[in-house]
């Protein structure tokens, strides 16, 4: 089975073109994404035919779980399409990709940069989803669930809860994100009892109204160099808290992503993506 390795802001993926819907992609993702015994990646992308869009995307995490949404994965998938299937594509080319959370529009901004429509952010408890604890500290805003506080290891964490098609909990720190004990706190937030489907956790620090520093603990993957939906969730929360304007650069360990949101419409995610290498995975592996 042939595959392609791609990365966007250091968020790396294995991509396979396939029409096989019933294969054990979950088990294959666990094996292929292993960084010691496999090809190594933050997720397995499937490029599939679609009856309602130009293409269809599925994404599996390294633990085998299927993600509802993946912004950097979508940008990498579109990079593959315009490189391998539409080599004559010019800036301004628009593609529609079917995902688990609906059809998403992608725009080729340049030879290296792709902007994708990540849909509308969601804030209702059932949409995130989150089961709020009785007596939880902090105000739960009806539209944004800002500052819902949990306590871990004696540390109070005011979380800003939002769904970008997948669940996110954003914590704004006044200290450098590098000093935050993400390896300790991240797994505890991910698997906290209030999140029935687990959650992606971002620790963010505002550097200016146009720049935010972020680290991410991804559900099913652990700490990654970048996360597209995570960058969007951070920008949405920051906008609602009055920290930023409509456009912001999110600085992650693997690179920078650009997020635009006007507080009403769909969130736009932009950044670079590139093919790293190609390979062949033995069918018996």
Catalytic positions: 70, 227
d(CA 169, CA 201): 5
Query: What ranges make up the beta strands (E) of the chain?
Result: 2-8, 11-17, 44-48, 55-60, 94-99, 102-108, 113-117, 148-152, 155-163, 167-172, 200-208, 211-218, 222-224, 247-252, 255-260, 268-272, 274-280
Q: Give yes or no for a contact between 277 and 14, defined as CB atoms under 8 angstroms apart.
A: no
Phi then psi for residue 215, to 5 deg, are: -125, 150
Contacts of 146 (CB under 8 A, 6+ apart): 138, 139, 140, 158, 160, 237, 240, 241
What is the token pair recorded at 233? 């969730």
- Quickly count: other Cβ atoms within 10 Å of residue 53's Cβ: 17
Strands 11-17 and 148-152: unpaired
51: left (phi over 0), alpha (psi -120 to 50) or beta: alpha
């Amino acid at each position: 089975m042939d595959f392609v390795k791609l990365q966007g802001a250091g968020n790396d993926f294995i991509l396979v073109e396939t029409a096989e819907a019933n294969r054990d992609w979950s088990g294959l993702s666990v094996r292929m994404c292993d960084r010691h015994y496999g090809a190594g990646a933050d997720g397995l992308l499937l490029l599939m035919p679609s009856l309602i869009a130009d293409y269809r995307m599925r994404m599996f995490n390294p633990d085998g779980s299927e993600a509802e949404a993946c912004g950097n994965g979508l940008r990498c998938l579109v990079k593959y399409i315009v490189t391998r299937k539409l080599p004559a594509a010019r800036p301004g080319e628009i593609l529609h990709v079917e995902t688990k959370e609906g059809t998403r529009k992608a725009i080729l901004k340049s030879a290296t940069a792709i902007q994708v429509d990540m849909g509308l952010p969601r804030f209702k408890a059932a949409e995130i989803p989150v089961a709020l604890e009785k007596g939880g500290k902090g105000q739960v805003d009806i539209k944004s669930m800002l500052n819902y506080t949990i306590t871990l290891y004696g540390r109070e964490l005011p979380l800003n809860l939002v769904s970008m098609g997948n669940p996110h909990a954003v914590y704004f720190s006044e200290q450098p994100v590098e000093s935050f004990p993400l390896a300790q706190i991240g797994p505890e937030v991910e698997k906290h009892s209030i999140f029935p489907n687990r959650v992606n956790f971002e620790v963010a620090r505002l550097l200016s109204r146009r720049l935010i520093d972020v680290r991410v603990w991804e559900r099913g993957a652990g700490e990654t160099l970048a996360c597209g939906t995570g960058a969007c969730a951070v920008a949405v929360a920051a906008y609602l808290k009055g920290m930023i304007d409509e456009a912001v650069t999110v600085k992650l360990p693997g690179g920078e992503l650009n997020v635009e949101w006007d507080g009403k419409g769909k969130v736009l995610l932009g950044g670079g993506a590139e093919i790293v290498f190609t390979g062949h995975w033995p069918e018996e592996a």
